[in-house]
Amino acid sequence: MPSLPRSPFAFLLALLSFLAAPPVAAEDGYDLWLRYKPLPAAEARGYLKAARRVVTGPQAGETIAIAREELARGIEGLLRRAPAGSTRLAGDGAIVIGTPKDSPEIAALDLPLDRAGAEGYVIRSVRIDGRRAIVIAANEEIGVLYGAFHLLRLMQTLQPLDALDIVERPGIERRLLNHWDNLDRTVERGYAGQSIWDWHKLPDYIDPRYRDYARANASIGINGTVLTNVNADAVALTPAYLEKTAALADVFRPYGVRVYLTARFSAPIEIGGLDTADPLDPRVRAWWRDKASEIYALIPDFGGFLVKANSEGQPGPQDYGRTHADGANMLAEALAPHGGVVMWRAFVYSAENPDDRAKQAYDEFVPLDGAFRDNVLVQVKNGPIDFQPREPFHPLFGAMSNTPLALELQITKEYLGFATHLVYLAPMWKETLDADTYAAGAGSTVAKVVDGSLHDYPHTAIAGVSNIGSDRNWTGSHFDQANWRAFGRLAWNPLLSPEAIAEEWVRMTFSNDERFVAPVVDMMLGSHEAAVDYMTPLGLHHLMGTGHHYGPAPWVDDLDRPEWNPVYYHRADREGVGFDRTETGSNALAQYAPEAAAAFAAPETTPEEYLLWFHRVSWDFEMKSGRTLWEELVHRYTRGVEKVAAMRRTWAGLDELIDAERHAQVAAFLAIQEKEAKWWRDACLAYFQAVSGLPFPEGYDPPARSLDYYKSLSFPYAPGH
Ligand code: BDP
Closest Cα to atom 11 of ligand 1: 347
Over residues 631-652, the mean pLDDT reads: 98
Assess whether 312 carries a catalytic annotation: yes
For a pocket test of ligand 1, which of 312, 387, 563 has the largest count of ligand atoms closer than 8 A to its C-beta? Answer: 312
Residue 459 CA to its chain's centroid (Å): 20
Catalytic annotation, pick one of 27, 140, 141, 414 = 414
Q: Which residue has the higher pLDDT, 17 or 626?
A: 626
Q: Would you say residue 18 has pLDDT above 50?
A: no
Average pLDDT across the chain, whole number: 95
Over residues 653-669, the mean pLDDT reads: 98
Q: Would you say residue 14 has pLDDT above 60?
A: no
Q: Is the CB of 189 under 6 A from ligand 1?
A: yes
Whole-model pTM: value is 0.96
Where do the domains of the chain lie?
41-168, 174-507, 533-579+616-712
Interval between CA 229 and ligand 1 midpoint (Å): 10
H, E, C per residue of 179-236: CCECCCCCECCCCCCCCCCCCCCCCCCCCHHHHHHHHHHHHCCCCEEECCCCCCCHHH
Interval between CA 527 and ligand 1 midpoint (Å): 24
Q: Is the CB of 386 under 6 A from ligand 1?
A: yes
Residue type, 473: N
For a pocket test of ligand 1, which of 186, 262, 307, 347 has the largest count of ligand atoms closer than 8 A to its C-beta? Answer: 347
By CB neighbour count within 10 A (0-12 exposed, 13-18 middle, 19+ buried), where does 241 fall? Answer: buried
> Residue 526 — pLDDT band, cuts 50, 70, 90?
very high
The minimum-distance atom of ligand 1 relative to the CA of 231 is: 9
Q: Report the alpha-carbon distance of residue 311 to residue 214 in Å, rounded.
A: 31
> Residue 275 — pLDDT band, cuts 50, 70, 90?
very high
> Residue 12 — pLDDT band, cuts 50, 70, 90?
low
Q: Is the CB of 347 under 6 A from ligand 1?
A: yes
Cβ-proximal residues to 675 (8 Å cutoff; 6+ apart), any chain: none
Per-residue pLDDT reduced to its tens digit, 329-341: 999 999 999 999 9
Assess whether 386 carries a catalytic annotation: yes
Per-residue pLDDT reduced to its tens digit, 23-34: 445 799 999 999
Per-residue pLDDT reduced to its tens digit, 183-233: 999 999 999 999 999 999 999 999 999 999 999 999 999 999 999 999 999
Per-residue pLDDT reduced to its tens digit, 508-522: 999 999 999 999 999
Per-residue pLDDT reduced to its tens digit, 429-466: 999 999 999 999 999 999 999 999 999 999 999 999 99
What pLDDT sits at residue 663?
98
Domain spanning 41-168: which CATH class is it, in words?
alpha beta
Instruction: Give the other-Cβ count within 10 Å of 285's Cβ.
Output: 18
> Residue 485 — pLDDT band, cuts 50, 70, 90?
very high
What pLDDT sits at residue 2?
39
Q: Is the CB of 542 under 6 A from ligand 1?
A: no
The minimum-distance atom of ligand 1 relative to the CA of 308 is: 13
Interval between CA 260 and ligand 1 midpoint (Å): 19
Instruction: Give the other-Cβ count within 10 Å of 203's Cβ.
Output: 16
Assess whether 408 carries a catalytic annotation: no
Q: Given this chain, do its domains 41-168 and 174-507 carry the same CATH topology?
A: no
CATH 3.90.1330.10 is held by the domain 533-579+616-712: yes
30 close to 473: Cβ distance less than 8 angstroms: yes
CATH architecture of the region 174-507: Alpha-Beta Barrel (3.20)
Q: Report the alpha-carbon distance of residue 648 to residue 666 in Å, rounded.
A: 9
